[in-house]
Chain A
Amino acid sequence: GAVVSQHPSWVICKSGTSVKIECRSLDFQATTMFWYRQFPKQSLMLMATSNEGSKATYEQGVEKDKFLINHASLTLSTLTVTSAHPEDSSFYICSASDTDRARANYGYTFGSGTRLTVV
């Protein structure tokens, strides 16, 4: 089945530093990947749609200069939280669907998530 690998699974960083999270589709190609943020006891909120070879599309209220997304290949998307602050502490999850139309019927595959703690 489709597998999405996400790293790191958890990270602690100091306020003001940047953190990069990787999301990799292991056995399929994904033209598009999605980045979600989930605060404790809340739902998954879509932050941005990552498009291979082009700029990401950000949801309203998400700062594009703070959450940098790069999707340089059909299997890798990265999210960089720049100048992180304690309020950025959250669970970040990526998701992807197979580019192949037939296999896309399998739905969305999620990464294992990254627990970010900014101190």
Chain B
Amino acid sequence: GENVEQHPSTLSVQEGDSAVIKCTYSDSASNYFPWYKQELGKRPQLIIDIRSNVGEKKDQRIAVTLNKTAKHFSLHITETQPEDSAVYFCAASRGTGGGNKLTFGTGTQLKVEL
């Protein structure tokens, strides 16, 4: 089955700096790669996703890059703000819909310091 590894487990940055979180996956058939932000006791919130037919996607301060050959994808947050502090999870699946299950990475605790 799919195995998703995520690094780093914790990340502390100064407000305004950039944050980068990296993930690798093992299943070459995976083609959907979402990123979630989870606050304590809450459900995961989708912040951005990318499909295997593109290499990069950007939404304001958030961007995701995908390297299918190397089987890794990364989340980039620019101009970080204190409200970005949360746990971030990457995930991978063989596609949305149907019985395609989503496998999560181990998570990254991001702390944005003033």
Residues of chain A at the chain B interface (Cβ within 8 Å): 31-32, 34, 42-46, 49, 51, 57, 91, 93, 95, 97-99, 101, 104-108, 110-113, 115
Contact = CB atoms under 8 A, between A and B. Distances in A.
Contacts of A105: 96-97
B98 A34 contact: no
A108 B34 contact: yes
28 contacts: A31-B98, A31-B99, A32-B98, A32-B99, A34-B102, A42-B106, A42-B107, A43-B104, A43-B107, A44-B89, A44-B104, A45-B104, A46-B103, A49-B99, A49-B101, A51-B99, A57-B99, A91-B41, A93-B44, A97-B100, A105-B96, A107-B32, A107-B49, A108-B102, A110-B43, A112-B43, A113-B41, A113-B42
Interface string B29-52: 000101000000111101001000
A115 B41 contact: yes
A24 B100 CA distance: 19
A95 B98 contact: no
Given A43-B104, A46-B103, A110-B44, A104 B89 contact: no
A104 B49 CA distance: 13
Q: Which 10 A-B pairs have the closest CB atoms?
A: A104-B97, A110-B43, A104-B96, A32-B99, A44-B104, A43-B104, A97-B96, A43-B107, A43-B106, A97-B97
B27 to A, nearest CB: 14
Contacts of A42: 106-107
A32 B97 CA distance: 8
A104 B43 contact: no
A21 B100 CA distance: 22
Nearest to A60: B1
Contact of B102 (A46, A51, A91): A46
A46 to B, nearest CB: 6
A60 B76 CA distance: 33
